[in-house]
Amino acid sequence: MKKIYLLAAVGLLMMTGCDLDINENPNYPSGSDITPSLQFPAVINAIADATGDQMFNYAGFFAQYFDQMPEANQYNKIAELDIDETTDLFNRCYRTLYAGALLDIEDIKSKTSNTADLFALQTMRTQAFQLLVDNTSETPYTEALKGSANSTPHYDEGQTVYEGVLKELDEAEAALVASDKMSMTDPMLDKDIEQWKGYANALRLRMYLRLIDGGVNAADYTNKAKALVAAGNFFDDDVKWDVYSDQEGQFNPWYHSVFELANNHCAGYAIVEYYKHMNDPRIGYAMKVRSSDNTYVGQLPGSKQEPTVYSDNSTRKNSAVSAINYDITHAMPIYLFTQSELQFLIAEVEFRFNNNAAAAKDAYEAGVVADFTNRGMAAKAAAFLAADGAFDSAADKLQLIYLQKWAALFMMDHMEAWSEIRRTDVPKLSSMTAAQVAATPAAYTPGEIIAPGRNLKGNGNIAMSLPYSSDSRKYNVNTPSKERKVSEKVFWDVK
């Protein structure tokens, strides 16, 4: 384990001081002494850091997993969707993915012809670009990462990027030479090329479903999704960056960035009410009961400063809501793909496209069990599936699959939860305003999200995407001239 921690530290050091130009990094050490074996953990670490820190935080607000504590102000802008390029919400992720992960990938590719290594690199490159597109839709791709040959890359449409990296992934897998074994240090999947293939197939499935619902060659991608599920060649457990410990300097990066501000996050109203409605024992995993009555109470989104929502001053106290339990996050892995999410995606394909309710039920239940197991609650899964979480008794089985995926991604992978809400429209947006929910909570339908009570730039909805990086605006003249608004949808979100 010490070796893994050391490698994680190496990855962090290699990211430090990244230049704002995504094509150049003058602080990046070069030379034959920097081997692919040392660089590859840095690639994974950079993608994990972007996913598990900044994205984990803002997407947690957007997915309505948590909100701003009533007596705190650190994340008011996120909670109230007061977000534009000046907010700099995406800058760190943009730099980390381009100047950290993607530049490292290009450098390693120039140093090796090992096809197993190249395939693993392409799998990580695919996920990095998927994340970039899912945040801002357009992103530099065809002209990016060319160094001084092009320091101001053109932005490509999201569809071009998605289909481009999927084609690259297919080509990298087709080029695999059976005798090639991974030579790079791999603390995540232990150089198991079959697990890397399974990870790549899961990424394909995730992206195919977004292309299908985005109306892009839907028949073709439906057939591809069905073929992936029929073959069943996926990873076995979770794809996670599990290098953190409960020691100073080795904390999970999200915990490290928030623990000094530990009174900033409280439980979100939507997830609390859904867990309560489903009699779901997972409600106690990451939330604390409020001390006054030992109940779980969520904060209505973006509402702590909105007098039309909360008129009673007692509701503006931290004691009025359930706090997030930071203690579970000290050494929490960063999940790049959970087994639970994978099983819910398989269940969707079986139900939507194969009309196979029995197979959908099997995958659905596997998804629930996988999540309960990750939370140390495996013994409680069967009772949940026999009662409120029962597949057979659900009036809308596809909605149940989507809602349980949302429930399972809480405190696991918030970026994917936000993306899946936008793709599926589940949880759907409530017709009630935050003020109306506060006034008549019994009229609210659990399993719906709520437009933030103070919704400054969201156009009455949740965040649909993020503005472009302001660093890109400063340093790349080819950043789209029109500023992207938080209310604008990414290319695959056409509902």
Confidence of residue 248 (pLDDT cuts 50, 70, 90): confident
**Average of per-residue pLDDT values in the chain:** 93
What residue ranges do the domains of the chain occupy?
Answer: 2-256+330-431+456-475
d(CA 185, CA 190): 8
For every residue of 168-187, DSSP letters joined together read HHHHHHHT--TT----S--T
Residue 16's pLDDT band, with cuts at 50, 70 and 90, is very low
Q: Which pLDDT score is estimated for 27?
A: 44
Report the pLDDT value the prediction gives residue 291, as an integer from 0 to 100.
Answer: 83
Cβ neighbours for 330, distance < 8 A, ≥ 6 positions apart: 244, 245, 246, 251, 252, 255
Residue 34 pLDDT level (bands cut at 50, 70, 90) = confident
For the chain, what percent of residues have pLDDT higher than 70?
A: 93
d(CA 282, CA 408): 9
Question: For residue 147, what pLDDT is reported?
Answer: 86
Q: What are the distances in angstroms from CA 288 to CA 58, 253, 486?
A: 21, 22, 31
- With 60 as the cut, is the pLDDT of residue 4 above it? no
Q: Would you state the pLDDT for residue 33?
A: 63
pLDDT tens digit sequence for 408-461: 999 999 999 999 999 999 999 999 999 999 999 999 999 999 999 999 999 999
pLDDT band per the 50, 70, 90 thresholds, residue 1: very low
- Give the pLDDT confidence score for residue 261 in this predicted structure: 61
Q: Burial level of 477, CB count in 10 A (0-12/13-18/19+)?
A: exposed
Tokens 């947690």 -> residue: 60
pLDDT tops 50 at residue 17: no
Tell me the fold of 2-256+330-431+456-475: 1.25.40
pLDDT-based confidence at residue 263 (cuts at 50, 70, 90): confident
Of 234, 447, 196, 418, which is closest to residue 343 (Cα–Cα)? 234
* Whole-angstrom distance, CA of residue 403 vs CA of residue 449: 11
What pLDDT shows up at residue 230? 98
Confidence of residue 302 (pLDDT cuts 50, 70, 90): very high
Angle at 436 between CA 87 and CA 467, to 5 degrees: 15
Q: Who wins on pLDDT, 7 or 336? A: 336
Task: Read off the amino acid at residue 120.
Answer: A
Per-residue pLDDT of 123-167, as tens digits, reads 999 999 999 999 999 999 999 999 889 999 999 999 999 999 999
- Residue 395 tokens read as 């009036």
pLDDT at 386 over 50: yes
> The pTM is what?
0.94
Q: Across-strand partners of 299?
A: 268
- Give me the residues paired with residue 476 across strands: none
- Average pLDDT on 70-81 reads 95
Distance CA 201, CA 118 (A): 16
In the structure encoding, which two tokens stand for residue 451, read together? 């437009």
Q: What pLDDT, on the 0 to 100 scale, is given for residue 32? A: 58
Concatenating the DSSP letter of every residue in 325-377 gives: -GGGGTTPPEEEE-HHHHHHHHHHHHHHTS--HHHHHHHHHHHHHHHHHHTT-
Q: In terms of C-beta distances under 8 Å and separation of at least 24 residues, what long-range contacts does 30-38 make, across chains too? A: 30/107, 34/107, 35/111, 36/108, 36/111, 36/112, 36/117, 36/183, 36/184, 37/183, 37/184, 37/185, 38/7, 38/10, 38/185
Distance CA 9, CA 12 (A): 5
Question: To the nearest whole percent, how much of the chain has pLDDT over 90?
Answer: 86
Task: Give the model confidence (pLDDT) of 388-411 as tens digits.
Answer: 999 999 999 999 999 999 999 999
SS3 477: coil
Is the separation of the CB atoms in 182 and 35 below 8 Å?
no
DSSP state of 280: -
User: What single-letter DSSP state applies at residue 323?
Assistant: B
Backbone angles phi, psi at 356, to 5 degrees: -115, 85
The DSSP 8-state label assigned to residue 99 in this structure reads I
89-100 average pLDDT score:
96
Q: pLDDT tens digit string along 341-355?
A: 999 999 999 999 999
pLDDT at 315: 77
Res. 247: pLDDT tops 80:
yes
Question: Which residues are CB-contacts of 163 (< 8 A; sequence separation ≥ 6)?
Answer: 211, 216
Q: Where on the phi/psi map is residue 425: left (φ > 0), alpha (ψ -120 to 50), or beta?
A: left
